[in-house]
Amino acid sequence: MPYPSSVTVVEVGPRDGFQSIQPWIDTETKVTVCRMLLDAGVPLLECTSFISPKAIPQMKDAQEVAQALLAQPGYRDRLYALVGNKKGVDRAADTGISQITMVISASPAHNQSNVNKLPAQSLEELCAAAQAYPDLHIKLDLATAFGCPFQGEVSMKEITFVLDGVVAAGIRDICLCDTIGVAMPEQVKGLFYALQTRYSQKDVLWSAHFHNTRGMAMANTLAAMEVGVQRFETAVAGLGGCPFAPGASGNMATEDLVYFLNEAGISSGIQLDRVLATAEYITGKVGCCRDSKINAVTAQKIFPRT
């Protein structure tokens, strides 16, 4: 299958990226980063997570971040927030967020580590949220879809157990997550194809979230495109990692994907130079490294095209 003519990039850096940074990032900086990315043309952005501050202290200002962004014209329908449980759903909805991401791990061991629940219990919470908030758009991030740090391989039975329940609840926005960066291109194509076939009558919007732990994020992204996936979660400056998944490192860098899309003639609507400026701003404010190939090249002025 040829590559698509357009791709939707979902920016998760302000949530997935910032949660792995230990020093406190002030609320104003978080809001500024989100605004810079949205103004660069990022169509969808995961701005924060409504999760216990005891678990992830960096997200304790979730309400303030969300409210500041919701007050800006044109941002509301482009914002997502991640939630960990029904309480998080309530908090997000009360703040005015209209789109949320809920995470369930296909791996029982990882789900237990992440939220202290079995997948079946998390699925019950997701279904309850869908019933309680029928106007709330819910996206599922299926964690450990390609492998688990605790149990290793994750079976198709474990994957479809969660997805069957999610689809039955009426949720059609599903992202397969390579939580610890172990996926390989043929595995990516095989899993997406199998699930596209299984749910072919359900009009599911598929997306992918790849970590670059082993340097395979771009190859896996292209593999997913080859089987029709057109939506990808990435993080500016390649930030990210899961606090509850040993070995997980940064995400696919937004600027690397946008650079490829530009060179391949695939539309994303994102201005690369402004994403690069955002990456520079973040790393300057926070002091973290930019895990991005195109950032390294442009910083050294080896190849000036941006």
Give the Cα separation of 146 and 214 in Å (integer).
13
Q: Which residue has the tokens 């999760």?
A: 51
- Which helix (H) or strand (E) segment holds residue 35: the answer is helix 27-39
What's the CA gap between 120 and 126, in Å, rounded? Answer: 10
Task: Given the residues 127, 242, 288, 289, select the one marked as catalytic.
Answer: 242
- State the DSSP code for 238: G
Evaluate whether 146 touches 188 at the Cβ level (below 8 Å): yes
Give the DSSP H or E segment for 129: helix 119-132
In the numeric block, which tokens belong to residue 134?
């029928």
Here the tokens at position 272 are: 């690369």
Q: Are 297 and 303 in contact (CB under 8 A)?
A: yes
Alpha-carbon span 260 to 94, nearest angstrom? 39
CA distance 271 to 212: 23
Active site annotation includes 242: yes
Q: Which residues contact 121 (CB under 8 A, 6 or more apart)?
A: none
Q: Give whole-number Cα distances, 213 to 120, 125, 218, 253, 288, in Å.
A: 29, 31, 11, 12, 17
> What are the catalytic residues?
242
